[in-house]
Amino acid sequence: MVDRQQLESRVRIDLTAVVVAVDAGQPYVLTVDTDDAPGIALPSGPLVPGHRTLQAGLRAWVEAQTKCRLEYIEQLYTFGDRTSSPMEAGEEIDHRAVSIAYLALVSMPTDQLEMQAHWLSWYALFPWEDRREGPSPLINDLHDRLLAPASQTVTRNKRVWRQRVDHIFGTGLLPWDEERALERYEMLYAAGLVEETHRDHDQPPPSASAAAAGVSLAADHRRILATGISRLRAKIKYRPVLFELMPPEFTLSQLQKTAEALSGIPLHKQNFRRLVEQQNLVEETGGVATDTGGRPAKLMRFREDVQLERPSPGLRVSANRRARARAS
């Protein structure tokens, strides 16, 4: 038997990118083809000696795989999992893969989006997260499956499990919380309702779960993306990251559609505009947009000075009573 103190540990560092863009009111994430099931993944690659920094390595991999050059980027989370331990030369090897994930935001016109790799709507991956037109019909389906006997085996206390389901999916007394995207995905994973659960256990996924649980990604990349969605939905409320996704000039209607696309909830037009005005986040450019289908709309731009004026400039978006009633 191998002495545990003599175990050799090998750590591989992978860099994974959650690259987000918004076009025509829809949020997209950048993906690439991969040989690993199911054939779709986030851009990623290992850290190698030639990379000066972690961010430099990530930027290099993303540009090489997708031709997309990153500007705004921040570290998202570090994921670490112990993998198989095969015998090499009579010694057991403790393999551990550490994945350092980053969130990147890009502003890109449609023609450039179509030219680069694969941009996939994140609501194709998480269809239950889009509540702009009201609660997704999938919520009731997933709610029933989560409360089915087979799913409740993840906890000994069925009452506690039901309360958790209602709380996280907004089906009980508490309203829907758009920032809990990661918790919802992890609950579906624990209950075996997403393809990744069965793939991780070398089991074929139930055919009935595929349509309800959205498109899956290779490895743990959908979990990483869910982490990015939760982070971004929270961050737009206290930092002006929303403007990283906007062109240099935009209308207030375009800004609202982008905020709704990311948060997944409908926003009241007048309340949103009042909030933008009170926060003093934008200024008029003097130009107008004539392709609005109606009256020309004023073109705005982000006020760079706002970041020097106060520490937490952001849009604390929330559905008003009427919009929240439609979303609940």
Q: Cα–Cα distance between 277 and 266 in angstroms, integer?
A: 19
Is residue 295 very low, low, confident or very high in pLDDT (cuts 50, 70, 90)? Answer: confident
DSSP state of 245: G
Residues 197-216 have a mean pLDDT of 75
Distance CA 55, CA 15 (A): 9
Report residue 238 as tokens: 């206290």
* Chain mean pLDDT for the chain: 83
How far apart CA 84 and CA 96 sit, in angstroms, is 8
What pLDDT shows up at residue 80? 77
In 3D space, the residue among 188, 187, 196 whose CA is nearest the CA of residue 36 turns out to be 196
Instruction: Supply the Cα-derived Rg of the chain in whole angstroms.
Output: 22
User: Which of 173, 207, 174, 213 shows the shortest CA–CA distance to 190?
Assistant: 213
In the predicted model, what is the mean pLDDT of residues 76-89?
A: 61
pLDDT of residue 88: 45
Across 149-153, 176-180, 207-211, 257-261, least confident range: 207-211
Higher pLDDT, 29 or 325: 29
Could you tell me which residue, 87 or 163, shows the higher pLDDT? 163
What pTM does this model have? 0.85
HSE (CB half, 13 Å, CA atoms) of 120? 22
Distance of alpha carbon 189 from alpha carbon 185, whole angstroms? 6
Q: Which residues pair with 88 in a beta bridge?
A: 91
Amino acid at 117: A
Q: Which fold has domain 4-124?
A: Nucleoside Triphosphate Pyrophosphohydrolase (3.90.79)
- With 50 as the cut, is the pLDDT of residue 85 above it? no
Helix (H, G, I), strand (E, B) or coil at 246: coil
Q: Which fold has domain 239-327?
A: Arc Repressor Mutant, subunit A (1.10.10)
Q: What is the mean pLDDT of residues 119-125?
A: 93
Q: What is the mean pLDDT of residues 118-124?
A: 92
User: Taking the CB of residue 270, how many other CB atoms lie within 10 A of it?
Assistant: 9
Q: Tell me the domain boundaries of the chain.
A: 4-124, 127-213, 239-327
**pLDDT tens, residue by residue, 131-140:** 999 888 889 8
In whole angstroms, give the CA distance from residue 204 to residue 186: 19
Local structure of 74: helix, strand or coil: strand
Query: Which of 146-155, 199-208, 256-265 ranks highest by mean pLDDT?
Result: 256-265
Strands 8-23 and 44-46, sheet pairing: antiparallel
Express each pLDDT in 249-280 by its tens digit.
999 999 999 999 999 999 999 999 998 888 88
H or E element: which one contains 62?
helix 54-66
| pLDDT at res. 82 | 47
Question: How many other CB atoms sit within 10 Å of the CB of residue 99?
Answer: 21
Q: Residue 184 corresponds to which tokens in the numbers above?
A: 């919802």
User: What would the two tokens of residue 223 be?
Assistant: 């979990």
Nearest to 68 by CA among 60, 76, 79: 60
Q: How many CB atoms lie within 10 A of CB 17?
A: 28
What percentage of the chain carries pLDDT values higher than 70?
A: 77
CA 168/CA 163 separation, integer angstroms: 9
Measured distance between the N- and C-terminal CA atoms of the chain, rounded to whole angstroms: 58
